[in-house]
Chains A and B, each alone.
Chain A
Amino acid sequence: MIQLKNLERSYKTPAGQFFVLRRVNLEIRQGEFITVMGPSGAGKSSLLNVLALLDDAWSGEYWFRDQAVHDMKRKQRADLAKKNIGMVFQSYHLLDDLTVRENIDLPLSYKDIPHKQRQGMVADTLDKFKIVAKKDLFPSQLSGGQQQLVGVARAVIHRPALLLADEPTGNLHSSQAQEIMELFRELNQQGTTIVQVTHSEVNAGYGSRTIQLKDGWVVSDTANPELQPYEAVKQ
């Protein structure tokens, strides 16, 4: 589904070029549930932003379903992301002044879908996530777990092929976290490819493959035991 070849991301600093991703080679297959782990500053969120096509300033090759993303213009990338990718954030990122229903409708409103069809899709999603009763509430009237549930509902309403989750349970207590992870597992079983960033070993356990990052390098990948040791590659 996705192939990254020698992908790098860096920032210019007064001290020189600072790399947050180094020579990342990665293949993500359809239907996988990948967990990206690593210490703070390892480049996990940066990798997720690149995969989400939110970040453009990388070098290397990025193939999405055999389409060369690296050759695409900004707008083409945005269109590709809009159709295929959903994102779940640690801080939920719900819009405070929109109701649950309006928040869930937001991605659809950017897709030129007729209003009536959107209403139907929102109703189905509210039903599927069992939050019909909350549809007219505002985010501030929900618990953290409920807010993240809305965040996930918003991310999957347009049935993306790839769901990216950046520390989706980071602000939740364990029972709420478990609920969200069960939801992810269910979505994955229904065919959604998932890439999650987490510090939690428990959450990692829901995935089918774990990738470890350190200082921007992929240092281990359970699907690729042959991966050269980090120190050797770094040399």
Chain B
Amino acid sequence: MAMVGIILLIACANLANLLLARAAAREREIAVRLSIGASRVRLVRQLLVECILLSFCGAILGTTIAYWLSEILPKWASSGSTPIPLSLTPDARVLLFSTAIAVLTGLAFGLAPALQGSRIEPINALKASGHQVSGPGARWSTKQTLVALQVAFSLVLLVGAGLFVRTLRNFSNLDGGFDRDHLVTIRVDTHLAGYSPAQLYSLSRQLIEKVEDIPGVRSAALASCELASGCGDASDIFLPGVPHTNGETDAQERRVSQEFFTTTGILLIQGRSFADSDTQNSPKVVVVNQAFIRQFLPGKDPIGQSYGYDANNTREFQIVGVVKDSRVNDIREEVPPTVFHSMSQDVTDVESVNVRTFGDPARLVSQIREAVRSVDPNLPLGASDTVAQVVSNSLSQQRLIARLTSIFGALALALACLGLYGVMSYTVARRTAELGIRLALGASRGTVLWLVLKNVLVLIGVGLIAGWVLSLLSVRAVGSLLFGLSPYDPATMLGAAAVLVVVSLIAALRPAWRAAHVDPTEALRLE
């Protein structure tokens, strides 16, 4: 909403600039009308009607573009196998609201130029034939203030876009602690199929055997919760000698089959993984992650330590191994203390079959599904995705935000450049005589080019300073949505400014070039 508001403000600034330029260009026409008896009210009315017409045409054009974009935008903003369920097709209320806003803002921003236009003194305007030669002193005007504001607002959006794009990139490049390449996961639902725990032991064994028989499969493992899907449960745990505070001695639990760590590429860094010797009848063992050690057993050798889920039974499970921290639950979450139970000792349900392949895992998906079905045709199968895709899908919200802010940032930049181009073109046109005189007095074309570009740089500079202040004030609000960078990240701030400067200079190059190529004889004749 804030982004749309900023875009609307930038567009309004452009409209105001356009109308101010038109009012200035029509000074003589208005002076003639006033001198032959037109009242100021009538002139304001005429200028406002023109303005409303302009806004109305803009609203119609905007509506057409909105319809067109409503199809494209959701597709573009989403990616992967989970499209974003976003309907942007404008309905009657949206259309009415947008048209009303367009016309009202057009009116609001057109009123000032209309009033200014009607306030001119006809005698002065008619006398000003062409002897006035504006120089660089007539530098700071309302038009330039409006352009500087556009630059400032554009910078805010570009900084936002930069922060969110970099957040997405940081998430995408994040080492989740497991190897997402050549890994495919298939969702199954043993709970819905009505499997009892006793039946699950046999099912687990068969599933793994069948899948591992497929040529190209390196290993297979089962888990009670799919990787990176946010389905992990946490339980209160009790450790001997560790004070128990409610809500602060939680550990996430996952039940996995024997080859889970090998299959998913989670590194074992101490002790052992699950073994054939870990059975229902053997002592219950668990593998924990580093976060668990850090939180509950700092400075202690974890191997051989025990814990339980009951204050009276703190030695139910023995820690036999420690694995590297991995974001198995949600790639966006800090790694919580996690306990991995062996499915050979305790299984309540199986939710995912994880398969590591030698080649492209996507090519084996249908064979893996077939293998799972061959074990039990009634076992409900969910979607099959590579883990890389699952991770990517889990970032859909970040991707949507990054893409939307990028779209709005680009739109703001385009509008600001349009405004800058308009103002510079107008300024160059107004300064044609002055530039001609400078050329006639010996200024080189490079000097004139620099003269105009210098003005542009001043405009951009003022806009950038204002934009940085606005950005610093506003980015704090989005700090919680960022990852791996500060809301005040200097690289993003400078990068956004660099993009703005380069694109703005490109936009200003044409008017500046035109200024440098003013024909002095033509310019002097205009005088």
Contacts and interface: CB of A to CB of B under 8 A. Distances in A.
A96 B132 contact: yes
Nearest to A74: B445
B137 A97 contact: yes
A87 B131 CA distance: 17
Interface stretch (B419-427, B494-502, B506-514, B519-527): B519-527
A158 B441 CA distance: 10
B441 A107 contact: yes
A108 to B, nearest CB: 9
Contacts of B132: 96
Contacts of A75: 444
B433 A93 contact: yes
B440 A87 contact: yes
A94 B135 CA distance: 9
B169 interface: no
A54 B440 contact: yes
B88 interface: no
Interface string A177-200: 000000000000000000000000
A111 interface: yes
Given A54-B521, A95-B437, A110 B447 contact: yes
Interface in B107-150: 130-138
Contact of A110 (B130, B138, B434, B443): B443
A95 B135 contact: yes
Given A91-B527, A106-B441, A97 B138 contact: yes
B466 to A, nearest CB: 25
A55 interface: yes
Nearest to A75: B444
A90 B408 CA distance: 53
A122 interface: no
A158 B283 CA distance: 103
A52 B440 contact: yes
B440 A96 contact: no
Interface in A27-68: 49, 52, 54-55
A81 interface: yes
A233 interface: no
B438 interface: yes
Question: Interface size class for chain A?
Answer: 20 to 34
B442 interface: yes
Contacts of A131: none
Given A93-B437, A96-B135, A110 B442 contact: yes
B130 to A, nearest CB: 8
A61 B132 CA distance: 36
Nearest to B433: A93
B435 to A, nearest CB: 10
A154 interface: yes
Given A49-B521, A54-B521, A98 B135 contact: yes
A130 B18 CA distance: 46
A137 interface: no
A95 B135 CA distance: 5
A223 interface: no
Contacts of A89: 437, 524, 527
A70 interface: no
A82 interface: yes
Interface residues of B, number: 24
A78 interface: yes
Nearest to B527: A91
Interface string B340-361: 0000000000000000000000
Chain B interface SS verdict (over half): loop
B527 A87 contact: no
A110 B444 contact: yes
Q: Most A CB atoms within 10 A — which of B135, B434, B443, B444?
A: B135
A154 B441 contact: yes
Interface in A87-137: 87, 89, 91, 93-98, 106-107, 110-111
Contacts of B443: 110
Contact of A97 (B131, B136, B520, B527): B136
Contacts of B433: 93
Contacts of B434: 95
Contacts of B130: 91
A55 B521 contact: yes
B1 to A, nearest CB: 43
B521 A107 contact: no
Interface string B436-465: 011111111001000000000000000000
A88 B364 CA distance: 86
B135 A87 contact: no
A96 B131 CA distance: 9
B312 to A, nearest CB: 90
A169 to B, nearest CB: 16
A160 B527 CA distance: 24
A52 B438 CA distance: 14
Contacts of A98: 135-137
Interface string B240-265: 00000000000000000000000000
A89 B524 CA distance: 9
A82 B138 CA distance: 26
A93 B434 CA distance: 8
A54 B437 CA distance: 10
B395 to A, nearest CB: 55
Given A96-B134, A98-B135, A54 B442 contact: no
Contacts of B440: 52, 54, 87, 93
Contacts of A52: 440
B36 to A, nearest CB: 28
Nearest to A82: B442
B375 to A, nearest CB: 84
The 4 closest A-B pairs by CB, nearest first: A97-B137, A95-B135, A82-B442, A97-B135
Interface of A: 49, 52, 54-55, 75, 78, 81-82, 87, 89, 91, 93-98, 106-107, 110-111, 154, 158
12 contacts: A54-B520, A78-B444, A82-B442, A89-B524, A93-B433, A95-B134, A95-B135, A97-B135, A97-B137, A107-B441, A107-B442, A110-B447
Given A93-B437, A93-B527, 9 more contacts: A49-B521, A54-B439, A75-B444, A78-B442, A82-B442, A87-B441, A95-B134, A97-B134, A110-B438
